[in-house]
Structure 1
Amino acid sequence: MYKLMLADDEGIVRESLKFIVDKEFPGTFETFEAKTGRHVIELADEVRPDIAFMDIRMPGINGIDAMKEIRRTNPNIVFVIISAYDKFDYAKQALTLGVIDYINKPFDKGQIVAVLKKAMEEVDRVREQRKRELEIKEKLDSIVPIIENGLIQDLLSHEHFKENIEEYKRLLEIDEKYGLMLAIVSGEREPGGYMRGAVPASVKTQKNYETVLLVISDNFKCITGSVMGNKIPVLIPCAKSSLTPEEYQKIVDSANNAQQELSEALGIDFRIGIGPVKPLENMADSYSEALSILVKTKQTVAEAVDLPEGCEYDTDYPLKTEKALFDAIAQGDVARAQEQANLFFDWMEKSSGGAMSDICLKVLEFVLWGERLAYGNGGHVYHFMSRSEYLPEINSMKSYDELRLWFLSHIERAVNMINTANAAKTEDVAEKAKKYIDQNYKDDISLDDLSGMYDISPFYFSKVFKTQTGVTFTDYLTGVRVARARELLEGTNKSMKEICSEVGYSDPNYFSRIFKKHTGVTPTEYKEGRR
């Protein structure tokens, strides 16, 4: 069905056109009539016609001006000019208005039929183009969350490649070089601010993820990651390395609004930590500080930039280098820890103005603090006498070079302690994941769900699982399901549909393909003994 507007000040012309249309195209057009320029514009606004036959000379507003006005609100309308005047007088203006043909009065039926077919083809072409555009947009809308989550996971993993980040930015049309992270945490809030009940909160947040995304996108111009345990990482790109007070306050206000809306929508508590602005490649640090501020404060919306340092420092004290050093230790980055330790030692030796004894004390302080981070990370037993040689060793040193080597070796030792403990933890994660799959293979288990249970990214979980088990998560799950299917085929009389369901597949055809891929035969052939 097409909407056709007939605009002419002569009633006999409109009636003639309508007669031809109804006779030659029965049931194809819904027609509307107008006889003045003003009426044409008002009618076009009301019914939004697909095709309009326009007379040039009408009372009041002329046809050309009316077409200009209509085109502003209906860019796809197809115009046909009908006029008793020479069409070349108006050709130049009409070309810019999308006029597809000119018909001089008096006209005959053949002319009207031909131009209507031409106009219908143009309307169909525009409709089909619009349909394709919507289909593409729909597909892109389904892909964008995957790309956004990939960017978040890469930025937080500390294992990203610069070219990967640049590709994500290109796909998501991100031009900014800086950003800050939000840590949105759900649970049951206790008086001290601690969020209890992470598992049920994670399940509820995952089930209502579309609602969560809608609330976040309504309040921030951002990139949102997937649910990780009871946490959601959110990236807010920033054009500059710092925000104005007004820009920052807007983020805080939006965070307060989002927190309230999320709590009301899901019926659980939410807290939001706001990390500091950093270069995009350092978003893991911003996210870590966003989480840290939630631990250190009781606020519903907590701002890492407001976290006091605890004391003031000399103006030339390399506080950033100190922080970077301990961040590297905590993250298990040996190379970066040694780089920052070297930089700090350079400052102590060349710029601090301190004596050898002052530097010795600072070196000992840093080593002890690094080891504290390592012990606090778990996986090691603390022995009270384990540092009994530290003081004698430092006091016996006569040169800065000797002291520097001692400092670097003990910093490296602290980092290695963290990495050893983390490796043990990831082994435990792989074993727990295998046990969970063995017990729950019937359920719909995804990589995102399983990694979220252990509060690590799907990318890192997948890497750890493959390293520790020798197979991918998907291959292991499929192997368990196929093994169980073989047992059921050999030892029961259950139907293929029942077996398919019992081993975690909803589609019998897909189950059959997977089974044949792993055994060389279909389930039916296997049951018949052709193995």
Structure 2
Amino acid sequence: MYRILVADDEGIMLEAFKNVIAGAFGEECVVETAKTGRAVTEIAETFHPDVVFMDIHMPGINGIQAMREIRKFNTTALFYVVSAYDKFDYAKEAIDLGVERYLTKPISRAKIIAAVEEAIGKVDAKRNQRSNLLKIQEKLETVIPVVENSFVGSLLFQQEMQAADYYQQLLDIEDKQGYVMILQFGQSYENGRLVSPVGMNVKAQEFYGEIRDIVKSYFSCVVGSIMSNRIPIVVPCPISANSYEERIDLVESSRSLISKLEGRIEAKFRIGIGRVREMQEMERSYREALRALNGSKSRVIHIEDLSQNGVYDEEFPVEMEKSIFRYLEEGKEKECVQEMNEFFDWMLAHYAEDMNNIRLKVLEYIIWGEKKAFEAGAVNYGFSYRRDYLDVAMACKNYEELRKWFLDKMVNACRAIRDQKEERSNSAAKKAMLYIQENYSKDISLDDVSGLVNISPYYFSKIFKEETGENFIEYLTKIRIEKAKEFLVKPDISIKEAGIRSGYTDPNYFSRIFKKQTDMTPSEYKTRYGE
């Protein structure tokens, strides 16, 4: 149904509009009329018209003023100006109000019908757009929690920063820093600790959605999934100089959040909060939040309030150290070498007189780097593998020898991590390709295959295309069409059966895809190449 409002000071014009619209569109359109600018404004408030045909020259409030008033409470109505003049003084104002068309009096029946048909088409387009936006929003409401969970998991546990960067773009997160909050839940308190009986985790799944909504009403954050009786939350934020004041506000907001949660959900809650760190260091913030929970009986505890930790010398290049091991963990050899050389130069500039101290720092970094490689599954460990490291360090006669040994060992660890990442990606892609080749006739999806290789769908899509040059759907389609060709040439296999055997249960869809890939329909292909 379409609501049409006609405003004109001539009664004969109003009757003409009503009769023409009723005759051409019947009950599809409901028409209201008004003879003055004031009347049309008042009717529009309750009638909520989709389309307004507005005469410019009316008693009292003119058509332009009436449209301006209506636009204040109705932003979607389509305005059609009715005028006895081809050009009039109000043209610029009318354009600013978004007038769709000018109709010059006298108006024929055909012009009225054409204008209404045009207006109905535009109203339909707007309605469809709103409907599609609502559908997209509904889908996003389903997809976003999955993406958020993957983002949190990639930051805290999988150590796949490339995947985390991808999720961060999907979620439109601009901040490069943030902190982790851990929301812990249980049934009751005992000696300041939460008691979580058997079955509490299952029960928590029922109120997880409500928890997520409440948390997001307090913080602009990304909420992970339930793990035991804890929910990790990543809160992106800029690094601020007023860290103390903001920490106090954060703790107070967290207390308010707990009160809100306990007022809505039959459970008790505690919150542990880690330090603000770079996104690639969120795992450290998570461990700090966990340590805060375990180290205090308070309902809300920030790691900074738990205890004073050791601090670096003011002159020590902390950020340089972080960069070295970040690039090492990412397998970025060139960047890692550059940072190591700068760090070695820094040591020489500050401690050239103390070679043993520099030897110790080199040994510390090498052992730390090899531990990172071991944790990444890139190298093995044996108790006696480093038995000569101290002797080698002490045997270096000058700083250039020590620098070379330092770089060689760290580069080996970096390359091992890089090779392991590439091997994992290649292995995952090859395993997926083999699975597709063996199961092309089944109803397989990206989620099925990414689950098989134990990699998130988004990150799997990226490495699969890097390895094959095609995305998952393109590769699956190529395999299915090649198999369909083999079936189509056989005289005892019908076109329908060829489609089913190659993974297409819908004959029409099979025909469309086949023609798109081969420029021939299945029947044309069978006729030309059949045995």
TM range (shorter): 0.5 to 0.7
SS at match of 1:30: strand
Map of 2:450 onto structure 1: 451
Map of 1:42 onto structure 2: 42
* 2:23 is the counterpart of 1:22: no
Is contact 1:4-1:31 (8 Å) kept? yes
* 2:79 is the counterpart of 1:78: yes
Trace 1:29-68 onto structure 2 (pairs within 5 A).
Answer: 30-34=30-34, 38-49=38-49, 50-52=51-53, 54=55, 58=59, 65-68=65-68
Q: Deviations over 1:395-434 (max 9, x none)?
A: 1222111111111111112223333444554465456546
The 1:378/1:309 distance shift into structure 2, 3 A limit, reads farther
SS at match of 2:401: helix
TM-score by length of 1: 0.61
Map of 1:127 onto structure 2: 123
Map of 1:268 onto structure 2: none
The 1:94/1:481 distance shift into structure 2, 3 A limit, reads closer
Quote the Cα distance in structure 2 between the aligned partners of 1:514 and 1:91: 52
The Cα of 1:40 is off from its aligned counterpart by 3.1
Quote the Cα distance in structure 1 between the aligned partners of 2:239 and 2:22: 65
Quote the Cα distance in structure 2 between the aligned partners of 1:379 and 1:173: 31
SS at match of 1:386: coil
Map of 2:506 onto structure 1: 507
Q: Deviations over 1:83-132 (max 9, x none)?
A: 9xxx97988877766593576xxxxxx65747745753663574366468
Map of 2:371 onto structure 1: 372
* 2:331 is the counterpart of 1:332: yes
Is contact 1:482-1:515 (8 Å) kept? yes
Quote the Cα distance in structure 2 between the aligned partners of 1:387 and 1:112: 97
Map of 2:399 onto structure 1: 400
Is contact 2:273-2:288 (8 Å) kept? yes
Is contact 1:374-1:417 (8 Å) kept? yes
Letter in structure 2 aligned against 1:349: L
The Cα of 1:289 is off from its aligned counterpart by 5.1
The 1:102/1:257 distance shift into structure 2, 3 A limit, reads farther
The Cα of 1:312 is off from its aligned counterpart by 1.1
Structure 1 gaps, min length 5: 104-109, 194-200, 226-231, 266-270
Is contact 1:100-1:119 (8 Å) kept? no
Quote the Cα distance in structure 2 between the aligned partners of 1:96 and 1:529: 64
The 1:435/1:80 distance shift into structure 2, 3 A limit, reads closer
Q: Deviations over 1:26-49 (max 9, x none)?
A: 237533244665543221111133
Q: Deviations over 1:459-514 (max 9, x none)?
A: 754576678899986677568768988999999x9987577556543323555677
Quote the Cα distance in structure 2 between the aligned partners of 1:297 and 1:447: 39
Quote the Cα distance in structure 2 between the aligned partners of 1:494 and 1:252: 72
The Cα of 1:340 is off from its aligned counterpart by 1.9
* 2:383 is the counterpart of 1:387: no
Range moving further from structure 2, 32-41 or 359-368? 32-41
Is contact 1:274-1:302 (8 Å) kept? no
Map of 1:100 onto structure 2: 102
Quote the Cα distance in structure 1 between the aligned partners of 2:181 and 2:499: 39
Is contact 2:489-2:530 (8 Å) kept? no
The 1:379/1:73 distance shift into structure 2, 3 A limit, reads closer
Range moving further from structure 2, 215-224 or 421-430? 215-224
The 1:331/1:443 distance shift into structure 2, 3 A limit, reads same
Q: Deviations over 1:213-247 (max 9, x none)?
A: 9999988878999xxxxxx9999887x65497698
Is contact 2:36-2:59 (8 Å) kept? yes
Quote the Cα distance in structure 1 between the aligned partners of 2:419 and 2:242: 43
Map of 2:361 onto structure 1: 362
TM-score by length of 2: 0.61
Quote the Cα distance in structure 1 between the aligned partners of 2:78 and 2:66: 13
The 1:94/1:296 distance shift into structure 2, 3 A limit, reads closer
Structure 2 gaps, min length 5: 187-192, 195-201, 225-230, 266-270
SS at match of 1:384: coil
Quote the Cα distance in structure 2 between the aligned partners of 1:471 and 1:483: 16
Q: Deviations over 1:4-38 (max 9, x none)?
A: 445578xxx54773267326852375332446655
Let me know the Cα RMSD of the aligned residues. Answer: 6.5
Quote the Cα distance in structure 1 between the aligned partners of 2:512 and 2:96: 58
Letter in structure 1 aligned against 2:45: D
Is contact 1:78-1:119 (8 Å) kept? no
The 1:314/1:101 distance shift into structure 2, 3 A limit, reads same
Quote the Cα distance in structure 2 between the aligned partners of 1:438 and 1:460: 21
Range moving further from structure 2, 45-54 or 455-464? 455-464
Quote the Cα distance in structure 1 between the aligned partners of 2:332 and 2:348: 24
Quote the Cα distance in structure 2 between the aligned partners of 1:339 and 1:444: 49
The Cα of 1:358 is off from its aligned counterpart by 0.8
Quote the Cα distance in structure 2 between the aligned partners of 1:511 and 1:272: 55
